[in-house]
Structure 1
């Protein structure tokens, strides 16, 4: 069974195409399951859409859900459509996000740390003036947030857990192994999945999130895995699915999962 849990569309302001475009692309790519998971609004912000090029407006969120549920019915029998969302994780705003999500029948929620200390994880300039010791502190802080997101109980999947390397490949070499292991241990204990996200190929790092080394550690800690293209154009739906499947088998995984009604569905590799 071929699936992809991480896709976006035009509402977020930095992706192309309608939700239906992604559904049709999934059918063309031979997927049996497609998850729609656009970026969450900033639910705790006073403005309806404080960053139009990053996330949808809060007022648009009900229409997003309605459209996915309508398409789920429309394409029943052709492909299974799952209602998801890629949620930001801000430790001090958890209640606002939980309240917003509780109103809707999500199949899964992807939790992604997109900012640390108010700065985008993709901002390469954040590293320029930091000493080696300060870089270690920042990497530890990032993985502490990921561990907190796992413990929050909000999520079924954690998104792109080493994406800080996207525009700063040297991130992978920053020595913070204990913090990474503690995050993976926590994720395993919480029984949620991490995604293998193939969008890293579109960034400077040129590879998947997370690294093979991290996937090996994830297996050691009993972490479940899933697949997400993180497609921002329909043509990337399911991108490199077979390559990821083969690599996971080489590492030693025997299955991966997707989520229906927030319950894991195991798919043998």
Structure 2
């Protein structure tokens, strides 16, 4: 079975194509399930459209949901369209986000940490001038936020859990046991993580997370899923078969998709 649970569209302001473009391309590529999971609005802000090139305005949230549900019905005889969302995680605002997601029939919500110390994790230059100890502190804060997101009960999937290496590949070599502790907690909380192939579009190359993290994830019985994080329709399902093969080599035998927030495991 072929699926992709992490896709974006033009509503977020930095992706290309309508939701329907992604659904049609998924059908063309032979997917069984396509998850639509655009960036969550900034629910905590009083402004309707806080960052126009990052996420949809709050006023389009329900329109987004209704469009996905319409396409789910329209294409039900060709593909399963899933209603998802990639949600920012802000511990101080988690209850605001939780309330919004409970109002609607989401199949899953991906929880992603995009900000550490009020700076975007992909901000180029954020590491310049930091001492070794300060770099360790940033990495540990990043993983502490991921641990909190796992414990929040809001998310079915955690997004790109080592994405901070995106434009700073040296992130991987910052030594700390924070990743080990994070995987242990994710396993205990029984939340899935995604293998996200969009790392290939960044300086780090490859996928999120790295193989060594996936090996430890298996040790802690962490469930895995798949998402291309496509921002163009053509990247849907990107390297699905390669990820499938690598997971088998690591020792995984199945992976997860979600319907109405219920997890289903399918063989690799």
What secondary structure is seen at the aligned counterpart in 2 of 1:81? strand
Matches within 5 A, 1:118-129: 118-129=118-129
CA distance in 1, matches of 2:23, 2:109: 18
Matched, 1:245 2:244: yes
Mapped partners of 1:51, 1:227: distance in 2:
27
Aligned equivalent of 1:66: 66
Deviation per CA, 1:80-102, whole angstroms, max 9, x where unpaired?
00000000000000111011111
Deviation at 1:205, TM superposition (A): 0.7
Partner of 2:152: 152
| Distance in 1 (alpha carbons) for counterparts of 2:170 and 2:98 | 35
The Cα shift of 1:124 comes to 2.7
Q: State the number of aligned residues.
A: 268
> Where in structure 1 are there 5+ consecutive unaligned residues?
none
Alignment deviations for residues 44-76 of structure 1 (CA, whole Å, 9 cap, x no partner): 001001100000000000000000000000001
Q: 1:234 and 2:256 equivalent?
A: no
**Separation of aligned partners in 2, 1:121 and 1:87:** 15
- Map of 1:36-51 to 2, 5 A cutoff? 36-51=36-51
Q: What is the match of residue 26 of structure 1?
A: 26
Paired with 2:239 and 2:200, the residues of 1 have a C-alpha distance of 10
Compute the TM-score of the two structures, normalised by the length of structure 1.
Answer: 0.99
Partner residue in 2 for 1:101: 101
Q: Which residue of 2 aligns with 1:211?
A: 210
Aligned mates of 1:26, 1:188 — CA distance in 2: 31
Alpha-carbon distance in structure 1 between the residues aligned to 2:89 and 2:151: 11
Tell me the equivalent position of 2:53: 53
TM-score by length of 2: 0.99
- Give distance in 1, aligned partners of 2:154 and 2:111: 8
**Helix, strand or coil at the partner of 2:255:** strand
Give the whole-Å Cα distance in 2 for the aligned partners of 1:235 and 1:168: 26
Q: How far apart are the structure 2 equivalents of 1:29 and 1:239?
A: 10
Separation in 1, partners of 2:27, 2:75: 10
Runs (5+) with no aligned partner, structure 2: none
Give SS of 2:126's match: helix
- Name the SS for the 2:87 alignment partner: strand
Stretches of 4+ moved more than 3 A in 1? none
Separation (CA, whole Å) in 1 of partners of 2:23 and 2:162: 28
Residue 236 of structure 1: how far off its partner (Å) = 0.2
Distance 1:128 1:58 in 2: 34
Q: CA deviation at 1:117?
A: 1.1
What's the offset of the Cα at 1:198? 0.2
